[in-house]
Amino acid sequence: MDYRPATRYPLNLWSDGEFLLCCPAQALAHADRDTFEVAMRTQGEIEAAICEGIARFEQEYMGRGPKDIHAHLIGDLLVVRLQGVLTAAEQQLVKSLPAEKGRDLLKQVRTQLIEAARPVLEAMVQAATGVKVLSLHHDISTVTGEEVVLFTLTEPPSFREIKKK
């Protein structure tokens, strides 16, 4: 197997004291226990780790996980598409208020929640990709219940190519 040198990542990613190991099978305990090493992953493994982290974030911070989630790593862009993210209360709010007012209120609340949790999201993305986040963009549709989160990274992450047979 063609593995490049492992990358070191901090362990304490979640503010509640829990640790998130993006790829536990590849994580190796280190003597100083403040870091762990991860062998270089494939693009699919990075995208899967992002999906797991974002789904966990949605469940813990928003109160509900997405029905479906996909992450796409395209150069220095990371696009995460979540479907079925609106809670029953949010759906009712959108229905009960005039269309534009309900939509704007929901988007404002979601934007504030994302901004408040931005350090957690950025740390999770950095742990999964090994690259710092430059910017984060977010939008949600009150019609379809779809949410899109776009991370701009400082550089394209390195990943191991899958050998084709």
Q: What is the CATH number of the domain that holds 47?
A: 3.30.980
Mean pLDDT of the chain: 79
More confident residue, 164 or 75: 75
In a domain, 84, yes or no: yes
Q: 123 lies in which domain range? A: 42-153
In a domain, 110, yes or no: yes
Q: What DSSP letter does each residue of the chain carry, written as one string?
A: ---PPPEEEES--STTS----SSGGGEEE-TTSSEEEEPPPBHHHHHHHHHHHHHHHIIIIISS--SEEEEEEETTEEEEEEES---HHHHHHHHHS-HHHHHHHHHHHHHHHHHHTHHHHHHHHHHHHSS-EEEEEEEE-TTT-EEEEEEEESSPPP-BPPPP-
The number of distinct structural domains making up the chain is 1
Q: What does pTM read for this prediction?
A: 0.73
Q: What tens digit of pLDDT does each residue of 68-121 get? A: 999 999 999 999 999 999 988 888 888 888 878 888 999 999 999 999 999 999
